[in-house]
Amino acid sequence: MKQDSRLSATLHVLLHMADRGAPMTSEELAACLGTNPVVIRRTMAGLRETGLVRSEKGHGGGWTLARALDTITLGDVHRALGEPALLALGHRSENPQCLVEQAVNAALGEAFVEAEALLANRFDRVRLSDLAADFSRRFDERRQIHAKHDHTL
């Protein structure tokens, strides 16, 4: 099953935006991910509608965070992306007539619901500020090893 990396990519982009503090263009953000600017605009569209980010056209324009890092959870971002499916496994058919399939759905469904709840729960508990803090920790760690430093990534 091919995996959906939009959540991962979007978190990456949001942290870069926070780190910058000034508007970043789709082109700059695309460079962070090694992808195309249109992919950025397309993905960010949902976040803009949800009020997580703002976009400005023209000179000095680009993307900025609309809320503080500690008020945005991974769950917020996931929902803003349209709540893509968390699990790669699914039922062969919902509401089957066949009793065998009903039993299969019941057994698998229980596991699916639990796993989805676990993920949703975690996503709602982790905030972007937590990721930023982890980034800072890694940054300081690296700076201790090398003598040089460059907060631009």
Partner DNA sequence: ATTTCATGTAACACATAAAGTTACATGAAA
Partner DNA sequence: TTTCATGTAACTTTATGTGTTACATGAAAT
Contacts with its own copies by CB under 8 A lie at 1-5, 7-9, 11-12, 15-16, 19, 32-33, 74, 84-92, 98-108, 110-111, 114-115, 118-119, 122-123, 126, 130-132, 134-135, 138-139, 142, 153
Neighbours of 3 (CB within 10 A): 6
| Residue 96 vs 139, nearer CB to DNA | 96
Tokens for 41? Answer: 């605009």
* Tokens matching residue 76: 């917020």
- Indicate the SS3 state at residue 62: strand
37-76 mask for DNA (x: CB under 7 A)?
xxx-xx-xx--x------xxxxxxxxx-------------
Distance CA 117, CA 61 (A): 39
Do the Cβ atoms of 6 and 93 come closer than 8 Å? no
Quote the least distance from Cβ 38 to its own copies, whole Å: 17
**List 11, 19, 25, 135, residue binding DNA (CB under 7 A):** 25
DSSP string, 42-65: HHHHHHHHHTSEEEE-STT-EEEE
Binding site for DNA (CB under 7 A): 1-2, 4-6, 9, 24-27, 34-39, 41-42, 44-45, 48, 55-63, 84, 92
